Amino acid sequence: MKLGHWSLSQPLGNGYGRVAAVKRGRGVILASLITIDDLSNEDILAILDDAELLLPAAKGEVYLPLLQGKLLGNLFFEPSTRTRMSFEAAMKRLGGDVINLGDVSSSSVVKGETLYDTIRMVDGYVDIIAMRHPRQGAAQYASDSAEVPILNGGDGAGHHPTQTLLDLFTIRQAHGTIEGLNVALVGDLRFGRTVHSLSHALVRFGCSLTLISPDSLRMPSEIIDDLQALGATITQSENLKAAVPDADVIYMTRIQKERFPDEDEYQRVAGIFKLSAADLAPSKGGMIVMHPLPRVDEVAPDVDTTVHARYFEQAFNGVVTRMALICRLLGVAVPQNAGTNGGES
Ligand code: CP
């Protein structure tokens, strides 16, 4: 049986690949975030530092209207709970506002409107766009088409760089650093865009990676080549339990059912990794279990109450890191006293 997604067939536009040449000018062209390599290590650390300052505002403890008068366009052509809602929370916690494309089936996409036309139109409405699309490369295409910054909230099996920022923030909260850790990335490393982006960042910060997946869902060879060119220490394995004692971070991922061309192929690997509280017995005390969520059955509910579980804090960190990122791309400085008298209580 074939799987599929209706919006895979959404036309991008006639200008695909050439639109950069016809980009309109509205003064300064701001940068987008399409892959994590659009940010230097210094940029990443500065965003995490700003996110730290913004924690009280993200929790609603202070009101800090840094983004008053700014508007975010949320264009999600593929389902999302965390990414879409945390972008919205980030804007609203900082006094900004959000307009949503909403349910794609009630938009003009179903009349055949191209992505190019959609982007060219929405970028006249807003100051910045967060976008998710089922097609790999769509975020870059949108950025080439738009005047306002595009934040890639996931493009097919490609990249998910804003997830990487919240992942790194979560790791730094737990370990006090993102440098030199042993990180096990587990599950669907072939289609999982979160691990594609995160692996690049971790290697850039000198982490060692253990890549644990069934053979059919290994990390794509071009990503492995990139990581090795960065000097990565990588071990590939199918044995999750063997990786537990040495790991500082176990990053579980869902098998991405919607990306499989064939249901039978999915069924051969569904449920292949299941982490339970008992499996964590040999782990280091400070080891954390992360998951970008949603989970299916790869992390048992009994892990939630262990000292290792960090996935709900991780999801919250999507708000604070996206606040910091939006401020940066819109040229809004985060005050050092943002968490105290920088905001109105
Ligand atoms: N982590 C993540 O991208 O979740 P959503 O698919 O709910 O946005």
Confidence of residue 344 (pLDDT cuts 50, 70, 90): low
Q: Mind listing the pLDDT tens digit for each residue in 55-102?
A: 999 999 999 999 999 999 999 999 999 999 999 999 999 999 999 999
150-155 sheet: strands from edge to edge: 97-100, 71-76, 128-133, 150-155
Q: 250 forms bridges with which residues in the sheet?
A: 184, 289
Active-site residue list: 82-83, 111, 132, 160
Q: Mind listing the pLDDT tens digit for each residue in 226-251?
A: 999 999 999 999 999 999 999 999 99
Cα distance between residue 345 and residue 325, in whole Å = 23
Structure tokens belonging to residue 120: 């060219």
Is there a domain that residue 335 lies in?
no
Ligand 1 centroid to residue 123 C-alpha, Å: 23
**H or E stretch covering 87:** helix 82-93
| CB atoms closer than 10 angstroms to residue 22 | 9
Q: Mind listing the pLDDT tens digit for each residue in 154-208?
A: 999 999 999 999 999 999 999 999 999 999 999 999 999 999 999 999 999 999 9
- Asked whether residue 138 falls in the same domain as residue 179, the answer is no
Cβ of 163 below 6 Å from ligand 1? yes
Is there a domain that residue 267 lies in?
yes
Range of the domain at 148: 6-159+318-329
Q: Structurally, how many domains does the chain consist of? A: 2
Cα distance between residue 295 and residue 303, in whole Å = 12
- Asked whether residue 217 falls in the same domain as residue 309, the answer is yes
> Half-sphere exposure (CA, 13 Å, Cβ side) for 82?
22
Ligand 1 centroid to residue 130 C-alpha, Å: 13
- Asked whether residue 143 falls in the same domain as residue 48, the answer is yes
CATH number for the domain that contains residue 186: 3.40.50.1370
Given phi > 0 = left and psi -120 to 50 = alpha, else beta, which region is 95?
left
